[in-house]
Chains A and B, each alone.
Chain A
Amino acid sequence: MDLNYTKEEQAFRDEVRKFVHENLPKDIADKVLHHKRLVKDDWVRWQKILHKKGWVAPNWPKEYGGCAWTPIQQNIFEEECGYAGAPRVMPFGLVMVAPVIQHFGSKWQKEYYLPRILSSEDWWAQGYSEPGSGSDLASLKTKAVRQGDHYIVDGQKTWTTLGQYADMIFCLVRTDSTVKKQEGISFLLIDMKSPGITVRPIITLDEEHEVNEVFFDNVKVPAENLVGEEGKGWTYAKFLLGHERTGIARVGESKRELEQLKAIASKELRNGKPLIEDPRFRDRITAVEVELMALEITLLRVLSSRTKPGPEASILKIKGTDVQQALTELTMEAVGPYALPFRPEARAGDWHGESVGPEYAASAAAVYFNYRKTSIYGGSNEIQRNIISQMVLGL
Chain B
Amino acid sequence: MDFIFSDEQQQLRDSLQKFIGKEYGFEARKAIIASEQGFSDKVWAQFAEMGILGVAFDEAHGGFGGSSVDTMLVMTELGRGIVVEPYFSTVVLGGSLIDLAGSEAQKQAVLSEVVEGKLLLAAALGEPNSRYELNCVQTTAKRDGAGYVLNGHKAVVLHGESADKLVVSARTAGAAREAKGISLFLVDKASAGVAVQGYRTIDGMRAAEIKFSNVKVGADAALGEIDNALPVLERGADFAVSALCAEAVGAMEALNAATYEYLKTRQQFGRPIGSFQALQHRAVDMMIHCEQSRSLALLASIKVQSEDPNERKRTVSAAKIQIGRSGRAIGEEAIQLHGGMGVSNELAAGHYAKRLAMINATLGDVEHHSERFASAA
1/0 per residue, CB under 8 A from A, across B166-210: the answer is 000000000011000000000000000000010111110001010
B222 CB → nearest A CB, Å? 26
Give the shortest distance, in Å, between B273 (CB) and chain A (any CB).
8
Hey, which chain A residues are within 8 Å of B332, CB to CB? 372
Please report the C-alpha to C-alpha distance between residue A367 and residue B358 in the assembled complex, in whole angstroms.
14
Contact of A372 among B129, B207, B343 (CB under 8 A): B343
With a 10 A CB-CB cut-off, give which of B177, B268, B270 has the most chain A CB atoms: B268
Contact, CB under 8 Å: B202 / A340? yes
Is the Cβ of A333 less than 8 Å from the Cβ of B339? no
Interface residues of A in 330-351 (CB under 8 A from B): 332-333, 336-343
Residues of B within 8 A of A385 (CB): 278
Q: How far is the CB of B158 from chain A (nearest CB, A)?
A: 8
* B278 and A382 form a contact (CB under 8 A): yes
Given contacts A135-B269, A365-B357, A271 and B133 within 8 Å (CB-CB): yes
Interface flags for B251-291 (1: CB within 8 Å of A; 0: not) read 00000000000000001111001001011000000000000
Check A135 against B339 for contact (C-beta < 8 Å). yes
CB of B330 to closest CB in A, whole Å? 13
Structural contact, A372 and B335, CB atoms closer than 8 A: yes
Q: Size band of the A side of the interface?
A: 35 or more
A343 touches B199 (CB 8 A): yes
Residue of B nearest to A133 (CB): B268
How many residues of B are in contact with the other chain, CB < 8 A? 51
Closest CB of chain A to B341's CB: distance in Å?
9
**Contact residues in B for A369 (Cβ distance below 8 Å):** 202, 343, 350, 353-354, 357
8 A Cβ contacts from A106-156 to B: 129, 132-136, 139
Query: Is A272 an interface position by the 8 A CB rule?
Result: yes
Q: Which of A188-196, A200-208, A247-255 contacts B (4 or more CB under 8 A)?
A: A200-208
Q: Is B128 an interface residue (CB 8 A)?
A: yes
Tell me if A368 and B199 are in contact (CB < 8 A). no
Q: A134 to B267: give the CA distance in the assembly, Å.
A: 10
Query: Which residues of chain A are within 8 angstroms of B328 by Cβ–Cβ distance?
Result: 329
> In the complex, what residue of chain A is closest to B128 when comparing beta carbons?
A357
* CB pair A203 B344 closer than 8 Å: yes
A333 near B202 with CB under 8 A, answer no
Q: Is the CB of A337 within 8 A of B200?
A: no
> Given A133, A341, A365, A376, which contacts B343 in the complex, CB threshold below 8 Å?
A376
How far apart are the CA atoms of A269 and B177 in the complex, in Å?
Answer: 12
Interface pair A376/B209, CB less than 8 Å apart: no
Cα separation A268 to B130 with both chains bound (whole Å): 10
Question: Does residue A356 face the partner (Cβ distance < 8 Å to B)?
Answer: yes
Once bound together, how far apart are the Cα atoms of A366 and B370, in whole Å? Answer: 26
Chain A residues whose C-beta falls within 8 Å of the C-beta of B370 in the assembled complex: 280
Question: In the complex, are the beta carbons of A337 and B155 less than 8 A apart?
Answer: yes
Interface residues of B, dominant DSSP: mixed
Which of chain A's residues 352-395 have a Cβ closer than 8 Å to chain B? 354, 356-357, 365-366, 368-370, 372-373, 375-377, 380-382, 385-386
CA distance A66 to B200 in the complex (A): 47
Q: How distant is A364 from chain B, measured CB to nearest CB, in Å?
A: 10
In the complex, the answer to whether A376 meets B200 with C-beta atoms within 8 Å is no
A271 to B371, CA, bound (A): 11
Q: Which residues of B contact A77 (CB under 8 A)?
A: none
Query: Is A337's CB under 8 angstroms from B345's CB?
Result: no
The answer to whether A159 has its CB under 8 Å from any CB of chain B is: yes
Cβ of B354 and Cβ of A270 under 8 Å apart? no
In the complex, which residues 251-308 of chain A have their Cβ closer than 8 Å to any Cβ of chain B? 268-272, 278, 280-281
Are B268's CB and A136's CB within 8 A?
yes
Q: Across the interface, do B156 and A337 meet the contact criterion of CB distance under 8 Å?
A: yes
Q: Are A336 and B354 in contact (CB under 8 A)?
A: no
Q: Chain A: which residue is nearest B334 at the CB level?
A: A372
Q: Tell me if A158 is interfacial: C-beta within 8 Å of chain B.
A: yes
Contact A207 B199 (CB under 8 A): no
Give, as a whole number of angstroms, the nearest-CB distance from A254 to chain B: 18
Asked if residues A343 and B200 are in contact (CB atoms below 8 Å), the reply is yes
Judge whether A377 and B340 touch: CB under 8 Å. yes
A247 CB, nearest partner CB in chain B, Å: 20
Nearest-neighbour CB distance to chain A for B186, whole angstroms, equals 22
Alpha-carbon distance A368/B353, docked complex (angstroms): 11
Residues of B within 8 A of A133 (CB): 268
B292, CB-defined interface residue at 8 Å: no
Name the one of B345, B353, B358, B362 contacting A204, with C-beta atoms under 8 angstroms.
Answer: B345
Flag if B358 contacts A356 (CB, 8 Å): no
Across the interface, do A337 and B126 meet the contact criterion of CB distance under 8 Å? yes
Is B336 positioned at the interface, with any CB of A under 8 Å from its CB?
Answer: yes
Q: How far is the CA of A203 from the CA of B357 in the complex (A)?
A: 20
Contact check, B199 vs A202: say whether CB atoms are below 8 A apart: no
Q: List 6 A-B contacts (CB under 8 A).
A: A132-B267, A139-B269, A205-B354, A268-B131, A368-B357, A377-B340
**Interface of A with B (CB < 8 Å)?**
129, 132-136, 139, 158-159, 202-205, 207, 211, 268-272, 278, 280-281, 329, 332-333, 336-343, 354, 356-357, 365-366, 368-370, 372-373, 375-377, 380-382, 385-386
Query: Which chain B residues have a beta carbon within 8 Å of chain A's beta carbons?
Result: 126, 128-129, 131-133, 136, 155-156, 176-177, 197, 199-203, 207, 209, 267-270, 273, 276, 278-279, 328, 332, 335-336, 339-340, 342-346, 350, 353-354, 357-358, 360-362, 365, 367-368, 370-371
Q: A136-B269, A337-B155, A339-B358 are in contact. List 7 more A-B contacts (CB 8 A).
A: A135-B273, A139-B268, A270-B131, A333-B367, A340-B203, A341-B207, A370-B343
In order of increasing CB-CB distance, the 8 nearest A-B pairs are A342-B202, A136-B268, A340-B201, A205-B350, A337-B156, A336-B131, A203-B345, A136-B269
